[in-house]
């Protein structure tokens, strides 16, 4: 049996050191459950008590040498394969690199920055606030108490009964009025959220730019003049404005604002649905209750506010007929802007 064990060792080591050795197959052949070494060990029951420890020791030494040889050979093969890969995948660093495709700003970012630049040029500053907001700032401070029907049109995503994702950037205006005394002139751009089904003109996530001016003697005429300057700068000097009476809980009086179609000049076309006018924003004089809620005396100060959807402006500005195109990240679409 000793001779048999020595032959198994010699045959195994020869197989391992061959050029095309299949190490896993060799391990199974000699050390597996049905391997040659295991078969020999199963016959140890026929040996005498004196021979068993001697043969067992030799068998353990043979197993250890075979396992060690397998490990050394496996590491050597791994190093050889690595060297082959290093040679085959060698890169000539002196070659010119591939031309990088320059990126572009997303059309929504382009439009938002254009809007911001226009208002900064009129003396506004930019104010920011949290997107996860308290119910008080998103609704109650804006004259929208619990169970008010206006909440139906601004149904948003609630985290708790008192914490939600803001449905407008108006909470930023409230926070600004709480911490800054008039005169105030700010715009508040940012993401907002509403529980709307996704379609060509709606999305549960979109962007707004809202503005606020509070000072002594502010009138509706100031609002009209400021919006005319904005519209002419964005859409062209021939742009005309139309104010339509509306209702917002946080402004009184309130108005929705249309601009003459910048494609057809008001004659009627596909973009304006043959009406000659395009709605772009809502506006109005800040409600006295809102000023009082923020610690500003409505008898001494007045103000106006306005808000617009960046997506709607971008769609009108670029002639896009489906809002979903702005979010699909299709470079064939985005590269046009």
The pLDDT assigned to 180 comes to 92
Query: Per the omega criterion (within 30 degrees of 0), is the bond before 253 cis?
Result: yes
Rama region for 40: left / alpha / beta (φ>0; ψ in -120 to 50; rest) = alpha
The pLDDT assigned to 44 comes to 65
How do the residues of the chain divide into helix, strand and coil, expressed in percent and rounded to 5? 45, 20, 35
Helix (H) or strand (E) segment spanning residue 185: strand 184-193
Ranked by mean pLDDT, the top range of 49-58, 186-195, 261-270 is 186-195
The total number of residues written for the chain in this structure:
337
∠ CA 127-131-137, rounded to 5°: 75
Helix (H) or strand (E) segment spanning residue 215: strand 205-215
When mean pLDDT is compared across 3-12, 164-173, 272-281, the lowest value belongs to: 3-12
The pair of three-digit structure tokens given for residue 38, joined into one six-digit string = 């295991």
| CB-based contact 292:286 (threshold 8 Å) | no
CA 125 to chain centre: 26
Any residues with CB less than 8 A from the CB of 206 and at least 6 apart, and which?
191, 192, 194, 309, 310, 311, 323
Any residues with CB less than 8 A from the CB of 295 and at least 6 apart, and which?
177, 178
Check: CATH 3.40.50.1580 for 107-334?
Answer: no
List, for residues 161-206, the tens digit of each pLDDT value: 899 999 999 999 999 999 999 999 999 999 999 988 888 878 899 9
| Ranges of each domain in the chain | 2-88, 107-334
């Amino acid at each position: 049996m000793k001779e048999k064990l020595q032959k198994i060792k010699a045959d195994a080591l020869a197989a391992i050191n061959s050029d095309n050795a299949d190490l896993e197959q060799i391990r199974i052949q000699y050390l597996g459950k049905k391997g040659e070494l295991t078969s020999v060990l199963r016959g140890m029951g026929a040996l005498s008590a004196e021979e068993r420890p001697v043969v067992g020791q030799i068998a353990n030494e043979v197993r250890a040498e075979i396992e060690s040889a397998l490990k050394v050979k496996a590491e050597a093969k791994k190093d050889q394969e690595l060297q082959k890969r290093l040679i085959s995948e060698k890169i000539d660093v002196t070659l010119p690199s591939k031309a990088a495709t320059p990126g572009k700003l997303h059309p929504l970012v382009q439009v938002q920055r254009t809007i911001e630049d226009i208002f900064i040029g009129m003396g506004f500053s930019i104010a920011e606030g949290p997107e996860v907001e308290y119910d008080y700032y998103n609704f109650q401070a804006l004259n929208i108490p619990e169970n008010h029907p206006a909440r139906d049109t601004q149904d948003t995503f609630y985290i708790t009964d008192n914490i939600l994702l803001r449905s407008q950037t108006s909470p930023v205006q409230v926070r600004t009025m709480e911490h800054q005394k008039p005169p105030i002139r700010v715009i508040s751009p940012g993401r907002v959220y509403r529980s709307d089904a996704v379609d060509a003109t709606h999305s549960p996530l979109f962007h707004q730019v809202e503005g606020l001016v509070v000072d002594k003697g502010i009138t509706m005429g100031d609002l009209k003049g400021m919006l005319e300057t904005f519209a002419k700068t964005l859409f062209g000097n021939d742009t005309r404005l139309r104010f339509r009476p509306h209702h917002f809980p946080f402004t009184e009086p309130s108005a929705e604002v249309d601009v003459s179609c910048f494609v057809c000049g008001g004659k009627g076309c596909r973009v304006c649905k043959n009406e000659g006018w395009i709605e772009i924003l809502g506006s109005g004089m800040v409600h006295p209750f809102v000023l009082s809620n923020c610690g500003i005396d409505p008898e001494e100060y007045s103000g106006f506010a306005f808000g617009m959807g960046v997506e709607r402006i971008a769609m009108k500005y670029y002639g896009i007929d489906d809002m979903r195109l702005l979010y699909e990240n299709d470079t064939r679409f985005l590269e046009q802007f």
